[in-house]
Amino acid sequence: MSQDETLLELMKHRWTARKFKDKEVSEEDLEKILEAGRWAPSGGNKQPWELVIIKDKDIKNKVAEIYSDAMGMKNISKRYTTPSILIAVCIDKRIVDSYPENMPAEFIIYASIGAMVQNMSLMAAQLDLVISWGTQPKSAQRELQELLELPDHIDIPDILQVGYPAQERYSSDRREVEEFTHHDKIDEDKLREI
């Protein structure tokens, strides 16, 4: 199998679990995941991410409580208490000022964060682990900042759950390439009904 076929198979293997085994992720595997994140592309090579690795059970329980309350979903707690590791993905808002005024700084930052999380997710898949994204409502932001003792200029848009899946991989259909590609201009007949 060629390298491009191997990479595509890994991308197809990556998925998001919602249930995790109570099984430790090794430090070696965590380091590989973090190293993959380190090499993600970022706008202007600003690398706008700061990561807080959470293993402490009390902190994970509090994170679960904050999410449950903010989302009004009590059944979501185990998503944050069972995985071996949570990773709070943080952004230093001061970096916005380092981009030229005419650039969409916020878009660039979040696109960079997405690339970093994707790199980490692919490495996790390579290690037979799963990373689940946990974007929280804005109402949870302040409590999470206080819990993790983040200064006011640090936002926390995501908390990733990292661990071994405790569920079967579910089907994840994708649109065919020809359904979402357009040539030279948008073909409105191909746009989906939403």
Helix (H) or strand (E) holding 171: none
Q: pLDDT tens digits for 19-63?
A: 889 999 999 999 999 999 999 999 999 999 999 999 999 999 999
Secondary structure (3-state) at 66: helix
Domain edges within the chain: 25-167
pLDDT band at 173 (very low <50, low <70, confident <90, very high): confident
Question: Can you tell me the distance from the alpha carbon of 107 to that of 45, in angstroms, rounded to the nearest whole number?
Answer: 14
Beta bridge partners of 161: 86, 132
Question: Can you tell me the distance from the alpha carbon of 7 to that of 11, in angstroms, rounded to the nearest whole number?
Answer: 6
Helix (H) or strand (E) holding 147: helix 138-147
pTM above 0.75, yes or no: yes
Q: pLDDT tens digits for 110-135?
A: 999 999 999 999 999 999 999 998 77
Q: Which fold has domain 25-167?
A: NADH Oxidase (3.40.109)
Angle between the 3-13 and 105-126 helix axes, to the nearest 10 degrees?
Answer: 100
From the CA atom positions of the chain, what is the Rg in Å?
18
Take residue 173 and report the two structure tokens written for it. 């259909």
